[in-house]
Amino acid sequence: MTSEEFMGLVYSPHIGLYFCVLLVVVCLYCIVLKKIIHSIIDPSLFATLNLAFAAAVPIFLYYAGFCPDKHIIYFATSQMILVGVFLLVTRNINYNQLLMNTVNHEYDKNRFFFNICLVIYLFTTLYSWLINGIPIFNENRFEINTDNSSGILGLLGRFSDACRLFCTLYIFYLYFHGRKKYSSILMLLLIAISMMSGSKGFIFSFVKAYFFYSVFYAGKMPKVKKKYILPIAAMPLCVILLAGYANGGLSSVLYFGYRLLANGDTYWNAYPYSVIDNIKVGMPFLNITSIFWGPFRHIFGFDVDKSLFETVGALLFEYNYRVYPDGGAPNSQLSVVSYAFYKWGGLLMTAIMALIGSRLYCMGYKRAPQNIYVCCKRALLVMMGLAVFGDIYLFFNGLFNYLLFVGLYKSSNVLYPLIYSEKNNGKSFNCNSGL
């Protein structure tokens, strides 16, 4: 089923059915997963809502007569396994212990690493714009020149997400430690870059960063004042209107409405007419981990079959539209990917990925020495764990980015004494200590 067909099915004559299903499913998921949600800006809440919005689609399709019994049974079973394993593993997290941490007010000794991350983020972003154009003004912000997705520069670009997160956390640190003007300028710079990148949900990345800073560094659960909720919610709309103006119309507004209506596009591509049964993926393990090992093929000269890099979401899109997506593809939900790989044996894959994701989530919430670098590491672990609720390929992307980030930090510790003296104001200056 194409997006146009699904939207037509929703609007006429089943719009009431869809929103009833959506309301019930969102409430059910929020109730079941409420133990891991501790704030209105908790990333766990965002992940839960994304999971619920996606889950509403196959249930709606079933009641509308477009999802066969075997697929709705598999979907329901896999969802129960995913949520059940996650809740079971995370049940012993002591969130109160996190909030009892003592804040370390030592002089910040990680400014050198911040400078490295900021330079990498700015360089990779500007280089991408030079090659591909500014995304918000492009017809498809996901479309990239292959010269920017391979080789050393492509590998360097994989640092971008983790570097941006560290920079954002560090800016919050500066703001709350007396550098308000300087940090505000830096924050506006990051916001401007994010808006020009065309991401409609970019503001939520900053909101999540504030949550991680508050919990992992400041040791307190953040509270958002009501007066800030509306401006935060309006930021994506600003991006939408800007993109629509740049493209000569309001098509982006309609697209945003479409994304809100159906976060689970992979399901309407997969379940109607049993399309998922026609998707064949060779070497599933190499396929799902390709985003992890793929960048190294250019450095070491590996000649790899391009089919290994075709996501299940992209294959479903190709089957329905008879053309391979040249930009963004439907999210590859774990329930769909596991079935495409192993059919009913995919339930075991679901359990394994849920176990791995929940364990990483727990590692992120373990009590640890408070500094901005450790705060960022823990945030990356939490987001990696929550990735099993969304696109499963992004889980391995997160793992790759995490290892790159840790390696970059370790390298900066080696580089620092070669550039700066080992003493500052008569005190030992070690990048490993302090903040």
Reply yes or no on whether the pLDDT at 253 is more than 60: no
H-state helical runs in 178-325: 180-196, 202-212, 226-246, 251-261, 265-270, 284-288, 290-293, 296-300, 312-321
Q: How much is the pLDDT for 408?
A: 85
Other residues' Cβ atoms within 10 Å of the Cβ of residue 49: 17
Q: How much is the pLDDT for 421?
A: 58
In DSSP notation, 283-315 reads SHHHHHTHHHHTTHHHHHT----GGGG--HHHH
The CA distance from 37 to 336, in Å, is: 26
Structure-derived torsion over alpha carbons of residues 328, 408, 102, 433, reported in degrees to the nearest 10: -170
Q: How much is the pLDDT for 428?
A: 43
Q: What are phi and psi of 79, to 5 degrees?
A: -65, -40
Q: How much is the pLDDT for 289?
A: 83
Is 84 strand, coil or helix? helix
Q: How much is the pLDDT for 329?
A: 75
pLDDT confidence band for 86 (50 / 70 / 90): very high
Q: What is the pTM for the complete model shown?
A: 0.82
Comparing 333 with 95, the larger pLDDT belongs to 333
Q: How far apart are the first and last CA of the chain?
A: 52
Q: How much is the pLDDT for 181?
A: 87
Reply yes or no on whether the pLDDT at 269 is more than 70: yes
The CA distance from 56 to 23, in Å, is: 9
Q: What is the pLDDT of residues 2-31, one digit of tens each?
A: 878 887 888 777 788 888 998 999 999 999
Comparing 365 with 155, the larger pLDDT belongs to 365
Q: How much is the pLDDT for 99?
A: 62
The CA distance from 252 to 375, in Å, is: 35
